[in-house]
Amino acid sequence: MRYISTRGQAPVLNFEEAMLTGLASDGGLYVPETIPTMSEEEIAALAGLSYEEVAFTVMKPFIGDTFTDAEFEEIIAKAYQGFKHDARAPLVQLGPNHFLLELFHGPTLAFKDFAMQLIGQLFQAALSRSGKHVTIVGATSGDTGSAAIEAFKGLSNVDVFILFPHGRVSDVQRRQMTTPPESNVHALAVEGDFDDCQAALKEMFADHDFREGVKLAAVNSINWARVLAQVVYYFTSAVSLGAPHRKVSFTVPTGNFGDIFAGYIAKRMGLPIENLVIATNQNDILHRTMVTGAYTKEGVTPSISPSMDIQVSSNFERALFDVYDREGPAIAQLMDELKAGSFAISQGAMDRLRDTFKSGRASEEETTATIKDMFARTNEVLCPHTAVAVKVGEENLTEVPMISLSTAHPAKFPAAVEAACGVHPELPPHMADLFERDERFTVVPNDLEGLKSLIKERLA
Ligand SMILES: Cc1ncc(COP(=O)(O)O)c(C=O)c1O
Ligand SMILES: N[C@@H](CCOP(=O)(O)O)C(=O)O
């Protein structure tokens, strides 16, 4: 399996190289040159398998010969052994045709653990073979950072620097990042928003000397391996509702477009998905794009679903690449225009996007009302990101079963949840003392050169 850049100017890589490289050298994102497909019989044969067995079957064609079957099986087994639910990603029924896919049973209580726990194992296996040290720099609006720290803390051949927007993540999210005592963990609170953190990360990749000097690696969803790991739960959930003999739809709370792009890959692989619905909060650039055909930055307003307070939605580039017939120069041109704040998508490309994706948004009031209403109707306590999905999912119900993705545990956002439904969601036992642990983080200005110097100093 070979990986190519969405901007067409970077070297073609194998899976291991693409994983360790992260962002392509031309600024693009790596995608598989071809998408492997599964027949109806192969999908039907997934019924009754464990999560780990489905993960192996779905992901194996993408990793080529990077790992033997036995190595890959062991990597998968280790990745999911810390999850607190036997099913890993259980389904809960909300209504006659509406289901919730619970993705928060991993160690940091968010869907990020599905990919990050796997990537942690994949990196360890690859780095122990090569004996190399890498510097992971991650940008987070709250959940990616905690999941990355959990996956990489204490490893001798990795330093992990996490940039998070100062004052714009929940207290639980911040403490998950700032309380691990391991010396290879560096939590940096940037005086800016998530887009500033992500832009700094991409600039670091664009600086060849810095990138090579520190052996920079990425664990954001710009890294293809992140997306790949998330394809699996689309299969497990759809099959448990009758796929391939019955279609399903998904509604995905969306910020950086990684999670819904994983659903798109599942569909391209042959999973019978009727609708893939993009659900945004009030920072609704993706919904506006689907309605207007123009991707236009308007500024981010902090919300009660802070992990989705994003404007520059990285993985949308991967979707654009496909609907522009994989023309790298066309994507490079759009991304160049975005530097000035906006780009227009061609009619043909928009038609193709709308064939695959529907969209909707939830205001702050609607998010709060959904948490309250769902608790009253079903006794389910939703996190605000999940509530965004459930609200938009309900608007898109058809005769096909709808699966809304529940991306975080409500206890990560207790203030918003309690204000909405009166329930104070408790942290699970392994995090019960989170607010008694010492915090350790550095507040840094939103200044690229300063960040690079700080990283080099810490590594020295
Ligand atoms: C809880 C939660 N829900 C939804 C999202 C949005 O996911 P994505 O960025 O893959 O679109 C995020 C952030 O990634 C998140 O942390
Ligand atoms: N919502 C994310 C933002 C980063 O997204 P990623 O998918 O690129 O890791 C977060 O919680 O950090």
What does the alpha-carbon distance between residue 98 and residue 238 come to, in Å, rounded to a whole number? 13
What does the alpha-carbon distance between residue 111 and residue 259 come to, in Å, rounded to a whole number? 9
> For residues 22 and 216, is the Cβ–Cβ distance under 8 A?
yes
Give pLDDT, residue 258. 97
Give pLDDT, residue 121. 97
Amino acid in position 187 = A
Give pLDDT, residue 132. 92
Report how far ligand 1's centroid is from the alpha carbon of 256 (Å).
7
> DSSP readout, 162-224?
EEEETT-S-HHHHHHHH----TTEEEEEEES-HHHHHHHHHHHHH-HHHHHHHTEE--STTSH
pLDDT digits (tens, 9 = 90+) for 302-336: 999 999 999 999 999 999 999 999 999 999 999 99
Considering only CA atoms, which residue is closest to atom 9 of ligand 2? 220
340: containing domain: 87-106+226-421
71, part of any domain = no
Measured from the Cβ of residue 39, the count of other Cβ atoms closer than 10 Å reads 10
Ligand 2 atom, smallest distance to 308 CA: 1
Q: Which residue among the candidates 78, 112, 247, 339 is catalytic per the annotation? A: 112
167, part of any domain = no
Report how far ligand 2's centroid is from the alpha carbon of 167 (Å).
16
Give the CA distances from residue 244 to residues 45, 61, 238, 270, 400, in Å, rounded to whole numbers and listed in that order: 10, 19, 8, 9, 13
Give pLDDT, residue 375. 98
Low-confidence ranges of the chain (pLDDT < 70): none
Q: Name the residue of 141, 254, 309, 313 to mutate for ligand 2: max ligand atoms within 8 A of Cβ.
A: 141
What does the alpha-carbon distance between residue 217 and residue 210 come to, in Å, rounded to a whole number? 11
| Dihedral sign for Cα atoms in the order 286, 144, 435, 169 | negative
**Cβ burial 150-176 (10 Å sphere, 16+ → b, else e):** bbbbebebbbbbbbbbbebbbebbbbb
Give pLDDT, residue 259. 98
Give pLDDT, residue 224. 97
The gap from C-alpha 350 to its chain's centroid, in whole angstroms, comes to 23
What does the alpha-carbon distance between residue 25 and residue 30 come to, in Å, rounded to a whole number? 10
> DSSP readout, 325-392?
TT-HHHHHHHHHHHTTTEEEPPHHHHHHHHHHEEEEE--HHHHHHHHHHHHHHH-----HHHHHHHHH
Report which secondary-structure segment, H or E, holds 161: strand 158-165
Report how far ligand 2's centroid is from the alpha carbon of 145 (Å).
8
Q: What is the ipTM, given to two decimal places? A: 0.99
337, part of any domain = yes
Q: Name the residue of 256, 371, 382, 388 to mutate for ligand 1: max ligand atoms within 8 A of Cβ.
A: 256
41, part of any domain = no
173, part of any domain = no
Q: Residue 273 has which token pair?
A: 């998905």
Q: Tokens 């060849």 appear where?
A: 208
415, part of any domain = yes
Ligand 1 atom, smallest distance to 262 CA: 10
pLDDT digits (tens, 9 = 90+) for 29-43: 999 999 999 999 999
> For residues 262 and 56, is the Cβ–Cβ distance under 8 A?
no
Q: How many structural domains compose the chain?
A: 1
Give pLDDT, residue 167. 96
302, part of any domain = yes
CATH code assigned at 287: 3.40.50.1100
Q: Tokens 């207290």 appear where?
A: 171
Q: Residue 308 has which token pair?
A: 């989705």
Report how far ligand 2's centroid is from the alpha carbon of 140 (Å).
5
Q: Does residue 253 have its Cβ closer than 6 Å to ligand 2? A: no
